[in-house]
Structure 1
């Protein structure tokens, strides 16, 4: 074993041998339908955890292949890596930080010391502060400059400060309180802010500014424009602070911006943005559904954490989902992964999982800084069923691309239109069946009606979409990403690839506003700057 000083885990000596065995298995074509001749297949290829069921029986995976995949994960250092993650070790080695998002939903326990502070105690205090704030908001005690109660909360943030909270707010619509409506603004495009604010009353609107560094370009531009909107309504000076709250690790910058200290909630550098909805970044969720519901969301994620820690690898949902993805991508040559929730309230789930997966595992060097020797990261896409059936399902069924599909389904609806749910479920199950069985030329009659079939899908099923099951679902994908990063020996918790674009944008902005001449640009970019200035004048 090659153990480096900066590592808390390492690959075992048998890793390469297991990889080679899987390559040999991948050369043998399999019929998914024929695998069901094994009467025990459903017992082996359906697993449960934290209230979720993962049916991966419709996959080109035999018991032998599954065993090799599990052993590969364990050989990659799964046990030690998992302990390091939950134990607060600096698993984000390029930034020298832990990735303690699991602590945000952990039960009470022993102190966890990070940078000389008890992180567990800090989390508890933040939750209590959120509780006080949300209770006052719902009681009508948070009042704006005119003395009227706050009725609209606008969350300004981008990336992890936006995607996760919006998914949760949309999915938990049955739990919305009547007193408040939460809105989200993320894009620097003025359309986002303008149309969100157009029908709101400045006197009853509160802005939550979400930025760990309090220097995010898009967020601060939107926040400054929000201040201008308040000022145009006559809300200026100290009165503006009654319309502001924030979540940040940079309290000094937030105070300088005008946020009241009593409405600044903490963020820590040991929580990555895409893993942060469980923290005070989830304040918009709590504003819309209440703290009791927010704590249920944490409970569901905690249940998945416990499952990930304790379940046998062969029945462990994050391990299974992660290693199935490795099988498709690294051994069968699949090019992308579709996530298709058959629930309209989860319409934005795929966007959140895109960031979670692609920002985490879109890496080209390993943990030692060497070029990786295998494809990493999934191209993840999708959208809600049944809408996708009238859009991209055509390519999934008859196209030449290899795509692994994850269907997500709740057995019971949260609305009273039960017959609609019957149709929804029948469509979801039919899609999974059609991907597997296809339609032969003999059955179809003409070549253009042939559906090849033998295409894999997983079905993630929950009893009902509620806060606990949503928390478990999102945590499942968080840990799935970690398992894959471990297998590929990459760091899932940094995102250096996004920095260059930010730097170049900062350099370009003065040229686009006419403040200074554009210099050092490639000919194509220089031409676009020139044309933009001409149109702007």
Structure 2
């Protein structure tokens, strides 16, 4: 049967509730309910608290959202993923990044085979390799110790490892990790200028080993390496592949012993838990990597076992849906009050927009409602001096997620962290409750002095979720990532779309290959180009040195 919001009983009830409360202010909810925080907050294993009380919701809203979740059988869809069913229908594949972070002594059967055996073996290979690189047993062809790791990959092969390593910078060892993703030669040159080839290892990460940008960069480095040292025999000591295409890897020239496997059922943007996370393990060590996996596994268990009204990813997803469909909120801001999470917004952008940026539903019908919101944001307090003006006094409705940590790992300048958290708490409060006038006096300019109070007025009523962790450590970062993965998965269930493919990523690549040949070989402009593309190519040819 065709899926449609309007046919669902509790969607209709939500619509009635929306009409009742849409013009209420967040402060009104707090005035009428002294226990609101206790009611709308969840403590996750005493490592994190979610406060969702500063939202435009009441008891009835949440009641109908949970009933709606039950009506569309969210739990049933969650079980399908955890049982290994082929929920990625368009690619006929299971989605099992959750298996990658299960304890190695557990079991997980797929097609009657215990895949935990392969996962355990993969982890063991990663452990042995990383420890031998860290302690200097694995060396380059000049017998020097390895000092640098170059991660060559794009999308999930770069955004995940880069974000996690930045988040866990306080746990890093002596190895320097570099990321090469962009096909821009400036990116390539910048990386090469930072390293010595004979003390560097290169990880080429591509599940299919055909990702254009990744293979192009890898070929350029291989050529550069061989030209500088004139010896192909040493290539195998410095180049490794993380892939599922053994044939293409060997064809490239990499020794089969230097291959770390990506399993077929691991999607790119969910691959940080796999051998794609090798650069993380090399940076923070095997034991810390296991803690990272364990944090994610704890959130997995919470997500799978907990009923809707206490289930953090489900609640976050339902609230996001509430604003997306009923309030027409086109965007969501992810605001991290920790410099260690400076890469996090980009990670969530890919996770959300690549998963749920779809216009066709599971029935092959064109979608008439909004799917993924546009995800944006930044790092506090920097963003307070850039786009917070729009949040506080602009005309756009932007729901926000605020993320921070009570304790960080630095023992000096500790008062800075108190200042940071003061801003963190103050911003969620001010966005929610507003302020009529500022106490601080400013010079009254003649043309507006009669109405100065209007210019200094903060309306508030901007909703937010507050996600506060006790510590910034591998376990917390693992739980944070897993929480957003599951939130986005549930959004896909609600929106009735396939969240685990990304056909739009390939769009334009075939045409770019044609244009590349055209630019390189200096052929005449083909008449099939539109006038804009033809005109731009003419300027390229005119200005090219």
TM-score, length-scaled by structure 2? 0.94
In the TM superposition, what are the counterparts of 1:217-296 in structure 2 within 5 Å? 217-234=212-229, 236-296=231-291
Query: Which residue number in structure 2 is paired with residue 335 of structure 1?
Result: 330
1: CA distance between counterparts of 2:107 and 2:171?
33
Distance in 2 of aligned mates of 1:120 and 1:370 = 38
Residues 170-197 of structure 1 show CA distances to partners (whole Å, capped at 9, x for unaligned) of 111111112x111111111111111111
Partner of 2:87: 91
Q: Is the 8 A contact 1:336 1:379 kept in 2?
A: yes
Out of 487, 497, 502, the residue aligned to residue 494 of structure 2 is: 487
Runs of at least 4 residues of structure 1 off by over 6 A? none
Separation (CA, whole Å) in 2 of partners of 1:318 and 1:164: 19
Structure 1 residues 61 and 261, CA gap change in structure 2 (3 angstroms): same
| Contact kept in structure 1, 2:66 and 2:309, CA below 8 Å | yes
RMSD: 1.8
Aligned residues: 527
> Any conservation in 1 of the 2:356–2:371 contact (CA below 8 Å)?
yes
Query: Contact between 1:513 and 1:533, CA under 8 Å: does it hold in 2?
Result: no
**What is aligned with 1:160?**
156
Sort the Cα spacing of 1:385 and 1:507 in 2 relative to 1 into closer, same or farther, 3 A: same
Distance in 2 (alpha carbons) for counterparts of 1:227 and 1:377? 39
Contact 1:299 1:471 (C-alpha < 8 Å) held by counterparts: yes
SS of the residue 2:178 aligns to: strand
- Residue 171 of structure 2 corresponds to 175
Equivalent position of 1:349 in the other structure: 344
Shift, 1:441, TM fit: 5.7
Deviations 1:473-512 (A, max 9, x none): 0000000001111111111101111222222212211112
TM-fit CA distance, 1:429: 0.7
Shift of 1:420: 0.5
SS of the residue 2:90 aligns to: coil
Distance 1:164 1:224 in 2: 23
In structure 2, what is the equivalent of residue 377 of structure 1? 372
For residues 138-153 of structure 1, the aligned pairs below 5 Å read 138-153=134-149
Which residue in the other structure is 2:101 paired with?
105
- Does the Cα contact within 8 Å between 1:508 and 1:518 map onto a contact in 2? no
Per-residue deviation at 1:536? 2.2
CA-to-partner distance for each residue in 1:276-301, whole Å, 9 max, x for gaps?
Answer: 00000000101111111111110000
Q: Provide closer, same or farther for how the CA distance between residues 227 and 43 of structure 1 changes in structure 2, counting only shifts above 3 A.
A: same
- 2:544 is aligned to 536
Conserved in 1, the CA contact under 8 Å of 2:107 and 2:114?
no
**Secondary structure of 2:469 counterpart:** strand
| 1:7 corresponds to | none
Structure 2, unmatched stretches of 5+, are 441-451
Hey, what's the Cα distance between the residues in 1 that align with 2:356 and 2:263? 22
Q: Secondary structure in 1 aligned to 2:507?
A: helix
2:443 corresponds to = none
Displacement of 1:399? 0.8
Contact 1:514 1:533 in 2 (8 A): no
2:401 is aligned to 406
Given that 2:180 and 2:191 are in contact with CA atoms closer than 8 Å, whether structure 1 keeps it comes out as: yes
